[in-house]
Amino acid sequence: MVNAEPLVSIIILNWNGLEDTRECLRSLSHASYSNRRIIVVDNGSEAPEAETLRDEFGDSVHLIQSETNVGFAAGANLGIRHALQNGADYALLLNNDTTVDPMFLTALVDAAESRKDGAAFCPKTYFYADPEIIYSTGGSVSLWTATARQIGRGERDSGQFDRVATRDYADGVCMLIPRRALEMLGLLDEDYFAYWEETDWCARACSSGLRCYYIPDARIWHKAARVQSPTNEYYFLYRRNALMFVRKRGSPLHRVLALLVHVFFYGPRYFLTHPGKIGRAPAELKALLSDASNQQPRRPFL
């Protein structure tokens, strides 16, 4: 019997994250949506984690192995290409450090099927360690300041975000993308390596007349360890990519103002109010100098 549901390929990147990926896959096994395929891209893990996942999950998961860490954007693109080549109607990008509500995918697909102007759909995401506190409901972005804000982050869920809404971008922790949008816009921009790639893709979608939607009936939980315990590599990539986003999607005026805001306002204010964080200053400065010198990104970066 032919399954009438659209085919969804769920794309998960694994990079030295075996335990998280295991838990994510076990969580997905309880999803109510039946017409799904799972693609795990092992992004150059140091240990033979792909083989371990293949042994444990067998044919329920299609594994793609990259010999090196090519970054989130390029790794996700490996999975997206495979999904499109094998007939997927939707690609779902899902972080490996998440767990999902059994109805999350049904809610996202139902929303996408009824909103043909949609390029990306994201769920209500909570913190895994504090499951009633919101991590993200999608976000807003400013070209003038090279900043993005996750709407609802840190708020206790009391129903204040229970309506479908449009967003500047769908949070890349979980983002459902229709095939037609990928065919229209192309894949993620690999210049970003990691961070801001989904914001850039959503900006391209919005500039083409499409919309990004937040779907509250879809719920997931995110461990967010790297964001909560950031390294200087994270600070550099995040800031460099924020400024690169402005360079790619904004005007010269946007770029100049964003750089000045970071040099003379955001940076000094942050270090005056957080003197214990001065260790991140070299990474932030490197990112600012990279943008000011028009330095082209190099991949792989880490």
| Digit-coded pLDDT (tens) for 95-124 | 999 999 999 999 999 999 999 999 999 999
State the Cα–Cα distance between residues 182 and 302, nearest whole angstrom.
27
Tell me the C-alpha to C-alpha distance, in Å, between residue 88 and each of 11, 46, 197, 227.
11, 30, 21, 31
Structure confidence by residue, pLDDT tens digits, 147-172: 999 999 999 999 999 999 999 999 99
State the Cα–Cα distance between residues 38 and 40, nearest whole angstrom.
7
Q: What is the pLDDT of residue 212?
A: 98
- pLDDT band for position 288 (cuts 50, 70, 90): confident
Question: Do residues 182 and 80 lie in contact, with contact meaning Cβ atoms separated by under 8 Å?
Answer: yes
- pLDDT band for position 227 (cuts 50, 70, 90): low
CATH number of 8-226: 3.90.550.60
Strand partners for 219? 124
Give 193 or 127, the one with higher predicted confidence.
127
Residue 152: left if φ>0, alpha if ψ -120 to 50, beta else—which one? left
State the Cα–Cα distance between residues 10 and 38, nearest whole angstrom.
5
Q: What is the pLDDT of residue 275?
A: 79
State the Cα–Cα distance between residues 169 and 138, nearest whole angstrom.
6
Structure confidence by residue, pLDDT tens digits, 261-275: 888 887 778 778 877
Q: What is the pLDDT of residue 299?
A: 45
Question: Do residues 64 and 42 lie in contact, with contact meaning Cβ atoms separated by under 8 Å?
Answer: yes
Structure confidence by residue, pLDDT tens digits, 47-77: 899 999 999 999 999 999 999 999 999 999 9
- pLDDT band for position 296 (cuts 50, 70, 90): low
- pLDDT band for position 1 (cuts 50, 70, 90): low
Q: What is the pLDDT of residue 226?
A: 60
